[in-house]
Amino acid sequence: MTDFKQKFIDFALQCNVLRFGHFKTKAGRPSPYFFNAGLFNDGRSLQQLGQFYAQAILTSEIRPDALFGPAYKGIPLVSTVAIALTEAGYNYPFSFNRKEIKDHGEGGNIIGAPLAGRILIVDDVISAGLSVGESVTMIHAAGAAPCGIMVALDRMEKGENEHSTLQEIRNKYGIPVISLITLDDIVAYLHTQQDLTRHIPAIEAYRTHYGAKISDTSSQ
Q: What are phi and psi of 177, to 5 degrees?
A: -125, 125
Cα(90)–Cα(17) distance, integer angstroms: 28
Q: What is the pLDDT of residue 211?
A: 86
The one catalytic residue in 102, 172, 191, 209 is 102
Q: What are phi and psi of 153, to 5 degrees?
A: -135, 130
Is 51 inside a domain boundary? yes
Contact in structure between 123 and 77 (CB atoms under 8 Å): yes
Cα(182)–Cα(185) distance, integer angstroms: 5
Give me the CATH number covering residue 71: 3.40.50.2020
pLDDT tens profile 110-121? 999 999 999 999
Residue 105, number of CB atoms within 10 A of its CB: 6
Is 152 inside a domain boundary? yes
Helices (H) and strands (E) in the chain, counts: 7, 8
Is 74 inside a domain boundary? yes
Report how many domains make up the chain.
1
Between 98 and 45, the higher pLDDT residue = 45
Is 218 inside a domain boundary? no
Q: What is the pLDDT of residue 218?
A: 47
Is 142 inside a domain boundary? yes
- Per-residue confidence band for 26, with pLDDT thresholds at 50, 70 and 90: confident
Residue 90, number of CB atoms within 10 A of its CB: 13
User: Average model confidence (pLDDT) for the chain?
Assistant: 90
Q: Is the pLDDT of residue 37 over 90?
A: yes
What percent of the chain has pLDDT above 70? 89
Q: Is 195 left (phi over 0), alpha (psi -120 to 50) or beta?
A: alpha
Q: What are phi and psi of 63, to 5 degrees?
A: -125, 85
Q: Which domain holds residue 70?
A: 3-210
Residue 35, CA distances (Å) to 12, 21, 46, 181 in order: 8, 11, 15, 11
The mean pLDDT value for 13-32 works out to: 92
CA-nearest of 158, 177, 168 to 218 is 177
Strands 94-102 and 145-154 come out as unpaired
The H-or-E segment that residue 170 falls in is: helix 165-173
Is 39 inside a domain boundary? yes
What percent of the chain has pLDDT above 90? 71
- Per-residue confidence band for 166, with pLDDT thresholds at 50, 70 and 90: confident
Contact in structure between 101 and 127 (CB atoms under 8 Å): no
pLDDT tens profile 85-118? 999 999 999 999 987 765 555 557 899 999 999 9
Is 216 inside a domain boundary? no
Q: What is the pLDDT of residue 157?
A: 85
Lowest mean pLDDT segment, chosen from 26-30, 55-59, 82-86: 26-30
Residue 199 catalytic?
Answer: no
Span between the terminal Cα atoms of the chain, in Å: 10
Is 137 inside a domain boundary? yes
The mean pLDDT value for 64-85 works out to: 96
Q: What is the pLDDT of residue 13?
A: 98
Residue 161, number of CB atoms within 10 A of its CB: 11
Contacts with 64 (C-beta within 8 Å, 6 or more apart), sequence order: 57, 92, 117, 118, 119, 120, 147, 148
Residue 102 catalytic?
Answer: yes
